[in-house]
Amino acid sequence: MQVHFAAERPADTDVLAFIVQKSAWDGFALPLDNPAAARETAKLARFEANSGQSFLFFSQEGGRTVRIILVAVADGDAADYIRAGGEILAKVQTCGAKTIAVHAANLDAKAAAEVAYGAVLRNWRMDKYRTKLPETAKPTITDITLFGAPAGAEAAWQTHSAIANGVALTKELVSEPANVIYPESFVERCRHLAELGVEITVLDDQDMAKLGMGALLGVAQGSVRPARLIAMRWDGTGGAQEKPVVFVGKGVTFDTGGISIKPAAGMEDMKWDMGGAGAVAGTMKALAGRKAKAHVVGICGLVENMPDGNAQRPGDVVTTMAGQTVEVINTDAEGRLVLCDALHWAQETYNPDTIIDLATLTGAIIISLGKEHAGLFSNSDELSDKLIAAGKASGDKLWRMPVGPAYDKLIDSPIADIKNVGPRDAGSITAAQFLLRFIKDGVKWAHLDIAGTVWGDKDGPTWAKGATGYGVKLLDRFVADNYEQ
């Protein structure tokens, strides 16, 4: 779908959309051939411009029948304008209309760009494998035009467009089946970032064996798909920011649970157990696409967790790159084994002051927070506050959870330095506590458990049922607010 900005309303548009605020609705002049009839129709439908309310109807405009959409937003809320764009698109995506024109004269430049942003985010769908999709179910919108927007809207859109492209990459990676996206092919899907100026480094399984990544490789040893680690570095500061902020993503491209095999029901969902890695890749595309003035490295540890005759067994002891030994109690607690080696390599290689990992790590976080928030665990109040603020501003919400010595003893092993699971209690906390043992003194660290937020079982404001793209908007906003001048 193409986004355009114009001074006047296109004469041949199929859909006219108006975004109104409750406080301005009574005096809002609808630029229609018969505004009084439109208002009466809206009144009959009980449209009162309450925030989040929307209404679609048909009207004669310029001698042709067009669809009219009214969407109400709160005063000055960026997330509302993004949702409004998504709502407009969702109402007409498959209706047969091709063009949307959004009246933007009553919006500021930022809000107009946010409406376009929401529409583009919501327009993404995974239809590539649906060969018998009925014509009436196929998306038909090709263009959206914001007309009458103030100066600066188009420039603001360019930034949002880059972020939307990053979100699209994340949705693509998370949505693809595991026979299409596996460690090697994930790397290949990221190669195009080099064209944007991203420096790409790839470690294969032999490289990681030489480095002593016994935890990560232990997870991968049951699969015919060899493990990979990809590092994507973007320096938009020209060397001025010496130390990068580092993002690390869990990339288990499919998780059977290994020998501790998962129940069959719902196992197909485990294609998105690489949601953390997907979010990191999408963030790097967004930052490079908008030429962010920051130095950032994104790292993805990529494995497939399978139960063949060579697979890791419960009770095995592995040695991590950091030298710590881990007793593997449950092979389905594999994400932390991947992350501990990736986190240590990241710190050894890039010496960051701040490191943030993202992972679909535990089902326990879904029990705690549902799908509304991702869990935030950190050793730094300052970093936590910055991430929570970025979450509120971007719509990718976080809720802080505890870590501390009281939980540490729950993962002590009787035969090794640490075991990979604790008791049933505090499952997401002990998983975070495991990772904290691999963070060097003085490094600000945050772990985001995104198991409940990367996938939507129903349509959302900026996604169709399926991959949500969670994490890209959050990390991009975190970088913009804290590392760019």
Distance CA 360, CA 346 (A): 19
Give whole-number Cα distances, 322 to 185, 300, 361, 391, in Å.
Answer: 28, 18, 21, 31
Distance CA 226, CA 178 (A): 14
Per DSSP, the residues of 185-219 read HHHHHHGGGGGGT-EEEEE-HHHHHHHT-HHHHHH
Pull the structure tokens for residue 467: 């991959």
Single out the catalytic residue among 39, 125, 189, 262.
Answer: 262
DSSP 324: -
Q: In terms of Cα–Cα distance, which of 19, 16, 14, 8 is closest to 141? A: 14
The amino acid at residue 373 is H
Cα dihedral value 75, 376, 363, 215, nearest 10: 140
Active site residue 262: yes
Active site residue 132: no
Q: Do residues 101 and 138 lie in contact, with contact meaning Cβ atoms separated by under 8 Å?
A: no
Q: Do residues 117 and 80 lie in contact, with contact meaning Cβ atoms separated by under 8 Å?
A: no
Helix (DSSP H) and strand (DSSP E) numbers for the chain: 14, 19
Q: Do residues 406 and 429 lie in contact, with contact meaning Cβ atoms separated by under 8 Å?
A: no
Q: Do residues 124 and 464 lie in contact, with contact meaning Cβ atoms separated by under 8 Å?
A: yes
Q: In terms of Cα–Cα distance, which of 202, 199, 277 is closest to 234? A: 199
Distance CA 43, CA 406 (A): 59
Q: In terms of Cα–Cα distance, which of 375, 481, 464 is closest to 167? A: 464
DSSP 23: G
Give whole-number Cα distances, 114 to 61, 83, 328, 441, in Å.
Answer: 27, 9, 47, 40
Maximum pairwise Cα distance, the chain: 81
Tally Cβ neighbours within 10 Å of residue 51. Answer: 15
Single out the catalytic residue among 122, 336, 419, 444.
Answer: 336
What SS3 state is found at 301? strand
The amino acid at residue 55 is F
Q: Estimate to the nearest angstrom the gap between the alpha carbon of 103 and the chain centroid.
A: 29
DSSP 38: H
- Residues annotated as catalytic are 262, 336
